[in-house]
Amino acid sequence: MGIRSDMDQVWDEIEIFRNMVNDLEDAVRNTQANFLVTLGVFCYCVAVGQAILYFKGDEKFTPLFFDQKDKDAPRKAFNAFFERYFSYETKSSCSKYFHNKEQNIYHSIRCGLAHHYYPENGIRINMDGDKSIEYKDGKLYIYNDKLVEEFKSALEKACCDMKKDENKWNELKIVLKNHDIYSGTGPVTISSQ
């Protein structure tokens, strides 16, 4: 039996985080689904950001949900994860590209892909590259193979930080286990309104 890392224990405790990484890695390796991989990373950034804001004590956030009345909550959750845990180089490329633009990375990429299929502002998405996000020749390029690697690294750092608060970490494990979408045992509320 091999030596298990601290992250193996985290992946065992919070299976949904392992599933996020596995889904993204499988999509890069097996399907080459460019836009879908990028959308997955940016949506997962929102989900992880919700947990981060919950750990910071923001009452508008729980590990799974945010205050629906706060229309800016998804962007806040995205920024809580992206701004803290993605590399300086990635954030710098985004800052250069979005300087003097009305939109930002969350709106242009996550919302652009989710609502219009294409990222806004002519952002280029490719499967392979040397960096996760690169500003070059006045354009922003996303390279999914490296973006997934960077997401995984950022998620590992975020988990290490969250795990420092043992009480909330244990609460997070319980909440996520009780809301197991894979087994269909989680609470589901359907509103006809």
β pairing state of 139-143 and 124-126 = parallel
User: How high is the pLDDT of residue 163?
Assistant: 87
User: How high is the pLDDT of residue 59?
Assistant: 76
Is 114 a domain residue? yes
Q: How far is CA 70 from CA 56, 74, 157, in A?
A: 17, 9, 27
Is 21 a domain residue? yes
What's the whole-number average pLDDT of the chain? 81
Structure-token pair, residue 188: 């589901």
Q: What angle do CA 156, 64, 98 make, to 5 degrees?
A: 65
> Which of residues 162 and 182 earns the better pLDDT score?
162
Task: Identify whether the C-beta of residue 130 lies closer than 8 Å to the C-beta of residue 149.
Answer: no
Is 188 a domain residue? no
CA-CA distance, 44 to 193, in Å (whole number)?
Answer: 27
**Most confident residue range from 52-66, 89-103, 153-167:** 153-167
Across the beta sheet with 124-126, what order do the strands follow?
124-126, 139-143, 133-136
Is 184 a domain residue? no
**Most confident residue range from 15-19, 67-71, 94-98, 99-103:** 94-98
Average pLDDT of the segment spanning 16-39: 87
pLDDT tens digit sequence for 86-120 = 999 999 999 888 887 777 888 888 888 888 887 87
Q: What is the dihedral of CA 108, 110, 111, 117, to 10 degrees?
A: 90
The whole domain housing 13 covers 6-178
User: How high is the pLDDT of residue 11?
Assistant: 63
Is 101 a domain residue? yes
Question: pLDDT band at residue 67, thresholds of 50, 70 and 90?
Answer: low
Structural domains in the chain (count): 1
Residue 81 pLDDT exceeds 90: yes
Is 35 a domain residue? yes
Is 1 a domain residue? no
Is 187 a domain residue? no
